[in-house]
Structure 1
């Protein structure tokens, strides 16, 4: 599958388990960039869509440290370019997803925009994380990227 990333995003060098990684410059008032990681594991790999959404949501908590509930998370299923797409939008304190997957300490005021595109040779996972303000600034570009995904 192919996609088109925003020209404003910096493509970073190859990393293990990733099809691509993009650095998104911090929004005015923020100090850290956001990151868009694109994962591809192969046909039949990477786990079920709902399990991945649940895992991503589980990487966040409310400001008081409690778990997020369904009303704290926006998900949507749609078809784009003939491909099933599930998107997720979650805000809160980002706690990461293991030793190689997230921050060393919880990051309040964070946001995740995710998309899982179910391709003929396996799903693509797009995971944009960063501060709420920087991610909000990249939201239109993220949506355009998701809408651009298509079969080669």
Structure 2
């Protein structure tokens, strides 16, 4: 079988040029630009302005403690300067719920001063209950390798509050009475009386 013959002969150069030009012109045709108007959504304003939430806890800062800027985790942060340029860090951290539990947090802190974790039974021996201003708190005091950590843990209204001082052993020892006074000064906001 032979291929079918075209009834159209070969295109001549001028005809080919015209055909290509028409194809190019039709391919480059621009679609018209469409515009839309959409009304801007206006945020609803509350019927009354919300009052700022009161601070949940207040305290008296001991003399010599330098207040540091709070962070996303810290409700309070202080620098305590000791002899010879040594320092201690004081933190106030509220976390939701039990925050993993006392044992997990205390063992994490022990790791920060290179101490081994405690078992639940050992935790009972290495911690004590204190009641600054009538509030029940768990107290721990650990020292290792020239570093010391003292902390109080207070569970209150679905949150756990961690009050911790860590740093140079002597600086923390010297500042411990002020730290205990700091715990005594804590005042928690309970909302308006009804």
Pairwise CA RMSD of aligned residues? 2.3
Q: Who is 1:6 aligned against?
A: 62
Q: Please state how far the C-alpha of 1:137 moved relative to its aligned partner.
A: 1.2
User: CA–CA distance in 1 between the matches of 2:132 and 2:100?
Assistant: 21
C-alpha separation in 1, matches of 2:147 and 2:89:
12
More helix by share: 2
* Partner-residue secondary structure (3-state), 2:170: helix
Hey, what's the Cα distance between the residues in 1 that align with 2:134 and 2:160?
Answer: 13
Match of 1:32 among 44, 66, 86: 86
2:129 corresponds to: 77
After the TM superposition, list the runs of 4 or more consecutive aligned residues in structure 1 that deviate by more than 4 angstroms. 68-71
Do the aligned residues in 1 keep the contact of 2:107 with 2:117 (CA within 8 Å)? no
Stretch moving more, 33-42 or 128-137: 33-42
Distance in structure 1 (CA, Å) of the matches to 2:98 and 2:149: 22
More strand by share: 1
Q: Does the aligned pair in 2 maintain the 1:119–1:151 contact within 8 Å?
A: no
- Residue 13 of structure 1: how far off its partner (Å): 1.2
Q: 1:131 aligns with which of 161, 164, 168?
A: 168
Given that residues 83 and 118 in structure 1 are in contact (C-alpha distance below 8 angstroms), is that contact kept between their aligned partners in structure 2? no
CA distance in 2, matches of 1:34, 1:79: 24
Equivalent pair of 1:110/1:130 in contact (CA under 8 Å): yes
Q: What stretches of structure 1 of length at least 5 have no aligned partner?
A: 93-107
Q: Which ranges in structure 2 are unaligned for 5 or more consecutive residues?
A: 1-56, 190-194
Q: How many residues align?
A: 129
1:82-121 to structure 2, matched below 5 A, reads: 82-92=134-144, 108-121=145-158
Q: Which has the larger radius of gyration?
A: 2
- Structure number with the bigger relative contact order (C-alpha 8 A, sep ≥ 6) is 1
CA contact (8 A) 2:75 2:92 kept: yes
TM-score normalised by structure 2 residue count: 0.58
> Partner residue of 2:106?
53
Secondary structure in 2 matching 1:112? strand
